[in-house]
Amino acid sequence: MFCTNCGKEMPDGTVFCTQCGARIVDASIPPRPIKEASRPTTAALLSLLFPGLGHCYLSDYRNGGLLMVSYLVVIATTLWVAYGAGFVSDSVIAAVLILCAACWCAVWVLAIVTSYDKAEVLAAEVQHA
């Protein structure tokens, strides 16, 4: 490699020129990507905060939106069954609430796991690029 300032030849990996003292820009090292790789833990934490948020963080607005809508529908159904549906027996309400709770957990876990996996894939892509 050569000094980009004075042109003196130097061993590879030299940071400062031994002749003129200029900082050497090594063309063989690609510049750091401006956009840092999305961190899987951040995506998972955002999903934990609210299902779908982690996907939006990863710019996956379609799946993020779907998860948010699913989550809100499950919550709305839970509230409706718990407070609004007075026309069914208590045992039916209990059964539906258990079902809703299961869906609730499923959506939540799904959001956390899939956003974590997606972030890992994205991070691997950035590293290989």
Q: Could you tell me which residues are beta bridge partners of residue 16?
A: 23
Per the CB < 8 A criterion, the answer to whether 104 and 20 are in contact is: no
Tell me how far apart the alpha carbons of residues 123 and 129 are, in angstroms, rounded to a whole number. 10
Using the rule CB under 5 A, which residue among 6, 49, 73, 113 binds Zn ion? 6
Stretch that binds Zn ion, among 21-29, 76-84, 96-104, 119-127 (CB under 5 A): 21-29
Stretch that binds Zn ion, among 10-18, 76-84, 90-98, 109-117 (CB under 5 A): 10-18
* By CB under 5 A, residue 24 contacts Zn ion: no
Q: In the set 16, 19, 49, 82, which binds Zn ion (CB under 5 A)?
A: 19
Kindly tell me the burial class for residue 43, based on how many C-beta atoms sit within 10 Å of its own C-beta (0-12, 13-18, 19 or more). buried
Task: Report the nearest approach of Zn ion to the CB of residue 32 (Å).
Answer: 24
Binders of Zn ion: how many residues, by CB under 5 A?
8
CA pair distance 31, 57, nearest whole angstrom: 24
119 CB neighbour count, 10 Å cutoff = 25
DSSP state of 8: -
Residue 5 touching Zn ion (CB under 5 A): yes
Which of 20, 94, 106, 113: binder of Zn ion (CB under 5 A)?
Answer: 20
Residues engaged in binding Zn ion (CB under 5 A):
3, 5-6, 8, 17, 19-20, 22
